[in-house]
C-alpha cells in the first residue's frame, strides 16, 4: 500500500538549515510527484513545494529563496532543505503524494508529519 | 498568487444537521479544487477532488459543488466522526490552501 514517512531533526537552531527526508513506498517517484506541506502549531496548512514525477520542481513564492527539494529515485526518497530558519518556521512538516491529473492534482496520500522546532 | 478565502472559520452544528462550508477563489480555477478533513493529531484526509468527485472510501454524505469561483463542501447529515477541521485546496496554479473551518458539535 502507499505510504510516506517523514524523518529529520526535531530541533534546529535559528539561522541554520533544515534537512528532512520523505521515504515513500507503494509507488514510484517517476510516476507520481511529492509535495511538502507545513502546519505551524494550531494553525492552517501551507503548501511549500513539489517535485514532479519528471524531477522538476515548483516552490511557494514566499519560500522560494530558502527552499530546495530533490530526490533519490533509487532509494524512493524525497529531500527538503530550507535555510535561514527562524522561530516562525516551527511547524509540523508533512510530505504528500500528488495524485496527478486523474485526481485533480490533489494530494491523495500523506505522511504522518514530523514536528520541527526552531529554537536556541 | 491565487488566494482561497474559506468561510466560516468555525461552525457549530447538531447531529444529523446539514453543514455547508465554502471557499472563494481569487480567480478562475476551473474544477481544480479539493477538500480535506483533518482530525486532531492526524494528517489531512482527501474527501473531494476535481470540485465534485468523491475520493475512495469517503461516505456519500459528503459532496462538493461549484458556482463560478465559489466552491462548497456539504455534509448532508452530520455524524460524530465528521468533527474536525476542513480545508480547501486549489490546484490550478501551484497549490493554495484555504484558511480552514473548525467544525464542532453543538
The stretch A31-49 carries a mean pLDDT of 98
Cα–Cα distance measured from residue B77 to residue B91, given in angstroms and rounded to the nearest whole number:
28
Nearest-CB residue to A94 (from B31, B34, B43) = B43
**DSSP string over B52-105:** TEEPTT--TTEEEEEETTEEEEEESS--GGG-EEEEEEE-SSS-EE---EEEEE
pLDDT at B101: 98
pLDDT at B94: 96
Cell for B92? 490550478
pLDDT at A51: 98
Nearest-CB residue to B1 (from A37, A61, A108) = A61
User: What size, in residues, is chain B?
Assistant: 106
Helix (H, G, I), strand (E, B) or coil at A116: strand
Nearest-CB residue to B95 (from A47, A103, A112) = A47
Residue A47 to residue B53, Cβ atoms within 8 A:
no
Residue B32 to residue A104, Cβ atoms within 8 A:
yes
Collect all residues of chain B within an 8 Å Cβ-Cβ radius of residue A50.
95
Residue A106 to residue B49, Cβ atoms within 8 A:
yes
- A13-39 residue pLDDT tens: 999 999 999 999 999 999 999 999 999
pLDDT at B6: 98
Residue A107 to residue B99, Cβ atoms within 8 A:
no
Q: How far B14 CA lies from chain A's nearest CA (Å)?
A: 24
What are the distances in angstroms from CA B95 to CA A10, A59, B25, B99?
Answer: 26, 9, 12, 13
**Where residue A119 falls among pLDDT bands split at 50, 70, 90?**
very high
**Where residue B36 falls among pLDDT bands split at 50, 70, 90?**
very high
**Where residue B70 falls among pLDDT bands split at 50, 70, 90?**
very high
Nearest-CB residue to A106 (from B46, B94, B99) = B46
Amino acid at each position: 500500500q502507499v505510504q510516506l514517512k517523514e524523518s529529520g531533526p526535531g530541533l534546529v537552531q535559528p539561522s541554520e538549515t533544515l534537512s528532512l527526508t520523505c521515504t515513500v513506498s507503494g509507488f514510484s517517484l517517476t510516476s507520481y510527484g511529492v509535495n511538502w506541506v507545513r502546519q505551524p502549531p494550531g494553525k492552517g496548512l501551507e503548501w511549500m513545494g513539489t517535485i514532479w514525477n519528471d524531477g522538476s520542481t515548483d516552490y511557494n513564492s514566499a519560500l522560494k529563496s530558502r527552499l530546495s527539494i530533490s530526490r533519490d529515485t533509487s532509494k524512493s526518497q524525497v529531500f527538503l532543505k530550507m535555510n535561514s530558519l527562524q522561530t516562525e518556521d516551527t511547524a509540523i512538516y508533512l510530505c504528500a503524494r500528488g495524485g496527478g491529473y486523474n485526481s485533480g492534482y490533489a494530494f491523495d496520500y500523506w505522511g504522518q508529519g514530523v514536528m520541527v522546532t526552531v529554537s536556541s | 498568487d491565487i488566494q482561497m478565502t474559506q468561510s466560516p472559520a468555525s461552525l457549530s452544528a447538531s447531529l444529523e444537521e446539514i453543514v455547508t462550508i465554502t471557499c472563494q477563489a481569487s480567480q478562475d480555477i476551473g474544477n481544480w479544487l479539493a477538500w480535506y478533513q483533518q482530525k486532531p493529531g492526524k494528517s489531512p484526509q482527501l474527501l473531494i477532488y476535481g470540485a465534485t468527485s468523491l475520493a475512495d472510501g469517503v461516505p456519500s454524505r459528503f459532496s462538493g459543488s461549484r458556482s463560478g469561483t465559489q466552491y462548497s463542501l456539504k455534509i448532508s447529515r452530520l455524524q460524530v466522526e465528521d468533527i474536525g477541521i476542513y480545508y480547501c485546496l486549489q490546484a490550478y496554479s501551484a497549490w493554495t490552501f484555504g484558511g480552514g473551518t473548525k467544525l464542532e458539535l453543538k
